A and B are shown apart, each in its own frame.
Chain A
Amino acid sequence: MKVTLWGTRGSIPQAGPTTVRYGGDTASVEVRNSDGHLIILDAGSGIRAIEVDRVGTTRIDILLTHLHMDHVQGLPFFAPLLSPDYEVHVWGPRSTRSSLKLRLARYLSPPLFPVSVRDLPNVVFHDVMPGDFKLGSINVQAELISHPGTTLGFRLEEKNSTVAYLPDHEPALGMSDFPGDPDWTSGFDLVHGVDVLIHDSQYTDDEYNERIGWGHTSFSQLMAFAEFTDVAKLVTFHHDPTHGDAMLDSIHDELDAGARGYEVVAGKTGLVIDC
């Protein structure tokens, strides 16, 4: 698999001179399998940067972890949705009462947006429940994870490569001894032993203490979680919009200084990971 980060920011796009290197677009990740099949993880504003026609792609699968705005706001601006040349499959969580399509229609309809879901004839919507499904040669495991609203995490596996993607995740919520028992830790099965973990790193420790329950992870919690789950490579992701390049550099310098059993990679727009 080849993984490219196109949107690394959380909450809201943050364009400007302070976010040039880490990126200002919200969550979107391109995954290509060995055959060039295109899977896109989340449809934040970063999705617009993905070049879809470079290998003759006609089918595109978009996996949505959840429907918070920073993960879907790029969807209607993704050109293949309006093109008859592509077949786009959108996968994501339903709620207890509504399908994915109906839930997305709240955003993709007037007055919030001029184009409605019914105007997207080449798009197929799939409700994802916890479990496994195949997209070409990639096996996708989806599980519910701790974040406000129905939210999925994904584990992608092809041959001997594994990538886990949990961009919005608060596994420490309500836990006095995080990380504790694997049986009772959100996301453990998805993440355990993966080659690459792309994970929420929105807050500093001080910020987390003021925002418990908002659905995100602090850097120190993330380091503990990565160690606990025995990952090989950790990619920080979903950077807080108030964290500029200089601040993130400083944080990652400190992380690099710590001796760890896994590699820490700063999640920056344009980062390519070959697995």
Chain B
Amino acid sequence: MLSRPPCTTKRVLKRAGYRYEYDLPPQKIQADPPLLIQGPSRFRVMATQQPLEMILLRQLATHLASPVWILEATGELVFYNEPAEHLLGIQFEEVGPLVAVELTEMFEVTEADGEPLAESDLPVVDALINRTPANRLVRFRAKDGVFRLVEILAVPIVGQGDRFLGVLATFWEPEPEREPEP
């Protein structure tokens, strides 16, 4: 049997970009830029990490050809994949932190006929509030300036233990109506 010397504790948090907490139960401390806390030794990184269900969804989304958004339960858009970047005309990294209702302004989302769309009728907002799937055909202006019609399906993400984690939304452009064949 091997015996090892006592472990040394290690509390140095080297990297920037994290949020921190101290003591238990966890108390979230929001800080941007990161807040470096001095004092008691019981510091450790707070739950900046997403729940596993969200991590796996994001990994799946990166492999899908369908445009996908992932929003947290707070309504913050935390990820969209490359097909969604192509559809919207802007990379996720360029968008920055956004909440769902800001999306309607950013992309000038309206009803399919151009009439104003109430924020609560945006499927992602509907699914966040009511925690039920929501579907709608809307018009939006992509970053290339072109108005497009897009069908949005937003589905609540409910994890283990019935934890409401957020919303997954997927998009597709309706097939253009074809001229009747002679």
B7 lies within 8 A of A161 (CB): yes
Residues of B1-39 contacting chain A, CB below 8 A: 1-15, 17-18, 24-26
Q: Which residues of A contact B58 (CB under 8 A)?
A: 184
A184-B55, A270-B2, A272-B4 in contact; A230/B10 too (CB < 8 A)?
A: yes
> What total of chain B residues lie within 8 Å of the partner, measured CB to CB?
43
Q: Is B62 an interface residue (CB 8 A)?
A: yes
Kindly state whether residue A245 has any CB partner on chain B within 8 Å: no
The 4 closest A-B pairs by CB, nearest first: A174-B59, A144-B52, A195-B7, A275-B7
Chain B nearest Cβ from A168, distance in angstroms: 13
Known: A184-B58, A185-B55. A193 touches B63 (CB 8 A): no
On A, residues with C-beta under 8 Å from B are 93-94, 96, 129-130, 132, 139, 143-146, 150, 160-162, 173-176, 182-186, 188-189, 192-196, 230-233, 265, 268, 270-275
Using an 8 Å CB-CB cutoff, how does the interface string of B44-59 with A read, 1 for contact, 0 for none?
Answer: 1111111111011011
Chain A residues closer than 8 Å to B15, beta-carbon distance: 182, 230
29 A–B pairs (Cβ distance < 8 Å), ordered by A: A94-B161, A130-B51, A130-B160, A144-B51, A144-B53, A144-B160, A146-B52, A150-B160, A174-B60, A176-B62, A182-B18, A183-B48, A184-B49, A184-B55, A186-B52, A189-B47, A192-B44, A193-B11, A193-B12, A193-B44, A195-B8, A230-B14, A231-B10, A232-B10, A233-B7, A270-B2, A273-B4, A274-B6, A275-B7
A-B contact count (CB 8 A): 112
Which residues on the A side are within 8 Å of B48 (C-beta)? 182-183, 188-189
Residues of B within 8 A of A (CB): 1-15, 17-18, 24-26, 41-42, 44-53, 55-56, 58-60, 62-63, 159-161, 163
